[in-house]
Amino acid sequence: MNAQFVARVTTWIDGDPDAQDRATLTTLLEEGNEDELHRRFDSPLTFGTAGLRGPEMAGPAGMNRYTVRRATQGVVGWMNELGVDSSRGVVVGRDARHGSEAFNDEVVAVLLGAGVRVFEMPEPLPTPLLAYCVKALGAAAGIMITASHNPPQDNGFKLYAGDGAQIVPPHDQAVERLAAAATSPRLADRSSELHSVVAPQVLGEYQRHFVERFGVPFGSVLRVTYTPLHGVGGVSLMDLLAAAGFGAVTPVATQFVPDADFPTLAFPNPEEPGALDHAIATAERSSSTLVIANDPDADRLGAAVRGPDGWRVLRGDEIGWLLASELLGDLNATAGVLATSIVSSTMLKKMAQDAGVRFVETLTGFKWIARAGGDDGLRFGYEEALGYAVDPVVADKDGLSAALALCHLAHHLAQQGQTLLDRLDEIESRFGVHAVAQLSLRCDGPDAMSVIAASLERLRATPPTHLGGIAVSDVIDLESGWHGLAPTEGLVLELGERGRVVVRPSGTEPKLKAYVEVLGDSGPDESLVEQRARAQAQLSAASEELSERLKF
């Protein structure tokens, strides 16, 4: 084994605060297990979507106490470089995943030891509540230990800036640079005068704000089924809905209590096929007409609606259109901004223009969407991956307030004898059929990222001339920038006035993703059903052709 590599491993072992992780790496070194050591050391975790995310394991390629310790030191150094007043404090929170409590403890100890004030969340709570507290407390930053909707073996470290939104470049590179240079930190415990727990009144203000905004004063008879998918959203959302007047909410008992193993799910993500099966079965028994679901850290919202032909799981874009239709009535040209990202449907732009409200399109991720409003403020933002921001008091996607807003809309539609599906019909009748789909190609193994990059490069070198019978009118390399956006990895295939395709690597998992949108091209006498069927057929054909080109 290369002596320089052995020295790297030994240096890491010497600094690792976790006895079990030290023992694991020492054993691998003594056994000469070079392949496994290279897996753990050759590709260290890097700051991707506003932080770190990866499998829990010893070594720099994994989430572990040492990785978290160094990342926290990077945050301290970053705040010092910016000249941020540490007395403003850092809000620290966690979800209920394996390792989250120990990682949370590590963050608190490093911050206190560095003389930074800490506001610690009182228990495992949803990520949006931490984002809210950063703004509400005027904190300098926020750190959330969570892997959101990733598989059970993963965990993560999410960093928020003082505006309550996820950090953006170049701040992520600065934190990473300073974390890599970290030495042994001074640690302190919770007896420090710099430590405090976020008061119940602060979290209570969150609830009061959204009850005032989306509550039903005399109560609602809307029957709803809710699942937190074994995550931390359960109690928070049930309490919020009850306070807002929604008393006929049935929780999914088998998925309500936080469980880091996510035993009833293949993947703890409401986007995944079958993720809402338990909820729909519960909804059948409870005669619910609406199913709502949060991902494990409750920053995303999934939904299904009972229709004449059974249950229909709503796509992320469709929930975005519905929420926009609910919120646009409160807005005008001077009341803020609507925003979505380049991987979402183009429908929101049309809705905003029709209402005379400013619209902004951003790069992928809520770190961009949350700041799209600038000084005018973001009044509504969404991304097709089930992320929604319905109120500027939370500068991030928030599955709790979005769930309440959707229930509020469903309640008022029910009073008029309508459903959410009726509202979708109204939207597409007015603005045209927008058929959307997402392809997600996962690649496992140590060479996953290079395999994904090679697939994208093949598409860049030989793009298709047609997809689903629709001509590709233009190919845009996002690395060169587009519409004033910062360069990023990915391609856009324009389909003229009939839609577009965006292909990009995932920022959080080893996946290549494609977002396909086909706009309806109706004949003069076609019904909405016929328009949708034709657009869906072209969407399916385009998706199949693209999938064949991208396959690994």
Instruction: Give, in order, the Cα–Cα distances in Å from 16 to each of 56, 181, 390.
Output: 14, 15, 42
**Rounded-to-integer distance, Cα 383 and Cα 299, Å:** 12
**Rounded-to-integer distance, Cα 234 and Cα 33, Å:** 43
Catalytic residue among 43, 87, 100, 148: 148
Task: Please give the torsion angle defined by the CA atoms of residues 397, 142, 54 and 104, in that order, rounded to the nearest 10 degrees.
Answer: -130
Whether residue 88 contacts residue 138, with contact meaning beta carbons closer than 8 Å, is answered with: yes
Whether residue 104 contacts residue 94, with contact meaning beta carbons closer than 8 Å, is answered with: yes
Report the SS3 class of residue 491. Answer: strand
Whether residue 309 contacts residue 295, with contact meaning beta carbons closer than 8 Å, is answered with: no
**Rounded-to-integer distance, Cα 517 and Cα 498, Å:** 8
CA nearest neighbour of 100 among 68, 78, 134: 68
Amino acid at 224: V
Instruction: Give, in order, the Cα–Cα distances in Å from 221 to each of 250, 290, 412, 421.
Output: 12, 12, 11, 19
Could you tell me which residues come within 8 angstroms of residue 463 by beta carbon, excluding any fewer than 6 positions away? Answer: 472, 475, 491, 493
Considering only CA atoms, give the Rg of the chain. Answer: 24
Let me know if 184 is a catalytic residue. Answer: no
Question: Residue 341, Cα to own-chain centre: how many angstroms?
Answer: 13
Question: What is the distance in angstroms between the CA of the first residue and the CA of the last residue of the chain?
Answer: 32
Could you tell me which residues come within 8 angstroms of residue 111 by beta carbon, excluding any fewer than 6 positions away? Answer: 72, 75, 76, 90, 92, 118
Give catalytic residue positions: 148
